[in-house]
Structure 1
Amino acid sequence: MGQILQLFDEEQAPRPATKDIPRNQAEIIVGDVRKVLQGFPDSLFQTCVTSPPYWGLRDYGIEGQIGAEMDIQDYIRDLVSVFREVRRVLSDDGTFWLNIGDSYTSGGRTWRDDDAKNKGRGMSYRAPTPKGLKPKDLIGVPWKIAFALQEDGWFLRTDIIWNKPNCQPESVKDRPTRSHEYVFLFSKSEKYYYDHEAVKEPAQDPKQKSKNRRTVWNINTEPYPGSHFAVYPRQLVRICIQAASQKGDRVLDPFFGSGTTGVVCNELNRQCTGIELNEEYAELAQQRLLLGK
């Protein structure tokens, strides 16, 4: 298992995607996804599985980073633009799996202190309360994005609740602790590839061996010792890739982060291309892929 790590040169013409990525070897491209994607030909990938930076929750220390927009509408527009390019580079029967979490208004606060229990919680900025909302409001970011993508041309096929049995504790006393995130399944076309047999789940009825996968997935979060603090679990990615592709297919992750999508692609014998803005995270993903976990 290995990887191809390369830097994107913005001064050169858009680069064509590598034609033949060896199996069990992920391609990692360091650069701004908004520019890198323009270099890929149409219909290159079978599926896209990704988790972009959540709005207003993390400061990755990169100028122009998606997720740090002061206006929620700018964040949505940025993601719609990125995923429009993703739709172009997907095969006609391809799918797009989007993991996204929600957030609350900042209540007028302009920064956030560090938390020993939650790496990366500290932020030097806080976006102002969006127009029309109130302090402490739940923003509804996932559905705002889902509806914007639907309007832009994607087929919104289902919402999936990722329930986290071992969720991060919260100190709030005036609402329940949030223990879930969303995974949305989009398709490029009305008809698309989906292997329901590959992702069946055990049936409670002893007379049945399995049943069609439901829309609530109980999956523990996974600790990762690296410096990247927003890592979605391999099991969540595994289900998406098994349902959406076959061995040897190309998988895209435009927000590669610590490389979870690449690790699972190696495991399942898929080819993977990951795009990551932060060179430090790309190097972390490179090391992780070498270890295979």
Structure 2
Amino acid sequence: MISAAYKSPTYEVPITITNGDVRDILSQIPSKSIQCTVTSPPYWGVRDYKVKGQIGAEPDINSYVQNLVEVFSEVRRVLKDDGTFWLNIGNTYTSGGRKWRQEDGKNKGRAMSYRPDTPEGLKKKDLIGVAWMVALACQLDGWYLRNDIIWNKPNCQPESVKDRLTVGHEYMFLMTKSEKYYFNQHSIMEDTKDGLAKKNRRSVWNINTEPYNGAHFATFPPTLVNPCILAGTKPGDIVFDPFLGSGTVCAEALRLGRLGTGIELNLNYAQLAERRILAAQPLLFYDVG
């Protein structure tokens, strides 16, 4: 476990980054202790994080969906009754029978030593609606599915495909544990065209991707995480990311005066997250040994 502590004039609360399998560690978190969860799990068959037991490397798409449903069921247990769950996930395509994928100059992280077989019932070149498969499976498992937010990426990575459109969006699903929950609409309202008034935030978010110089290839930008935290929490609340990666959620939570905790399977990424958070907010931390 990698630990630091958030220090304010009124309270001191441990902030933890735990290295290990989320399926083992989540059971240790007390029920109803988290106000808001924001996460982006590994996408199916898209990245090889080279860690044994990684979610996203399942040979069968249904196993991947079931693994996430089980993780998120535990997330629902640890979430407070008025808490929110924000899930960033994108769709993928069948591999077309290819068993590996080489890196390219623009995206070294795309290299993979394995590719899952085409799921039963699908065809080569099919778009797999993985994002919706996960969202609907979570809904059936007990979550309230409240919004499908389109993350439009104006600077999305170009694709060389010639027989379909370049994919320039992902999803952010808003789910809740209860019918009524904490949601601060005012904190994320948008300006009207004339700039003279405010309006409720729409469900299409135009947010550029942002490069990160660390060793993690699939970071999501702080500007995507920001409205989730603002709408779902108050200052001092705990924000949780069960697939922490490079630490974006914890770093943004702390920047906004919230507390952050996360779990990361890959030790290198857990250490990267620690360095990133400490570098971003050095005055908010002191060493707890």
**Structure 2 length normalisation: TM-score?**
0.93
CA contact (8 A) 1:248 1:270 kept: yes
SS at match of 1:37: helix
- Aligned partner of 1:14 in structure 2 is none
State whether residues 58 and 120 of structure 1, in contact with CA within 8 Å, keep that contact through their aligned partners in structure 2.
yes
Distance 2:142 2:94 in 1: 29
The answer to whether the aligner puts 1:51 opposite 2:40 as a matched pair is yes
Are 2:197 and 1:209 equivalent residues in the alignment? yes
> Which of 277, 282, 288 is 1:289 aligned to?
277
Name which of 231, 234, 252 aligns with 1:246: 234
- Structure-2 change in CA distance of 1:168 and 1:224 (3 Å): same
Counterpart for residue 160 of structure 1: 149
Whether the 8 Å CA contact 1:26–1:266 is kept in 2: the answer is no
Matched-pair contact (CA < 8 Å) for 1:54–1:101: yes
Letter aligned with residue 112 of structure 2: M
Q: Is the 8 A contact 1:106 1:127 kept in 2?
A: yes
Taking the aligned partners of 1:43 and 1:119, their CA distance within structure 2 comes to 40
Shift of 1:183: 0.2
TM-superposed CA distance for 1:210, in Å, is: 1.3
What runs of 5+ residues in structure 2 fail to find an aligned partner?
A: 282-289
Amino acid at match of 1:40: I
What residue in structure 1 maps to residue 129 of structure 2? 140
Q: List structure 1 segments (4+ residues) > 6 angstroms apart after TM superposition.
A: none
Give the conservation status (yes or no) of the 8 Å contact 1:21–1:27. Answer: no
Assess if the C-alpha contact under 8 Å between 2:240 and 2:250 holds in 1: no
Alignment partner of 1:219 is 2:207: yes
C-alpha displacement at 1:118, in angstroms?
A: 1.1
Paired position in structure 2 for 1:15: none
Letter in 2 for 1:100: I
Aligned to 1:181, the other structure's residue is in SS state strand
1:66-215 to structure 2, matched below 5 A, reads 66-206=55-195, 208-215=196-203
Count of residue correspondences? 277
Write the distance in 1 (CA, Å) between the matches of 2:14 and 2:241.
14
2:102 partner amino acid = D
Instruction: Tell me the CA shift for residue 290 of structure 1.
Output: 1.3
| Identical amino acids, percent of aligned pairs | 59
* Matched AA of 1:91: K
Distance 2:25 2:247 in 1: 17
C-alpha distance 115-109 of structure 1, shift in aligned 2 (>3 A)? same
Partner Cα separation in structure 1 for residue 58 and residue 7 of structure 2: 37
Root-mean-square deviation over aligned CA pairs? 1.5
Match of 1:264 among 236, 252, 255: 252
1:66 Cα deviation from its structure 2 partner: 0.2
Cα shift readout 1:232-262 (whole Å, capped 9, x = no counterpart): 0001100100000000001110000000001
Report how far residue 205 of structure 1 moved.
Answer: 3.8
Q: What residue number does 1:11 align with?
A: none
Q: Please state how far the C-alpha of 1:26 moved relative to its aligned partner.
A: 3.4
Give the unaligned 5+ runs of structure 1.
7-17
SS at match of 1:120: helix
Aligned partners of 1:283 and 1:119: how far apart in 2? 21
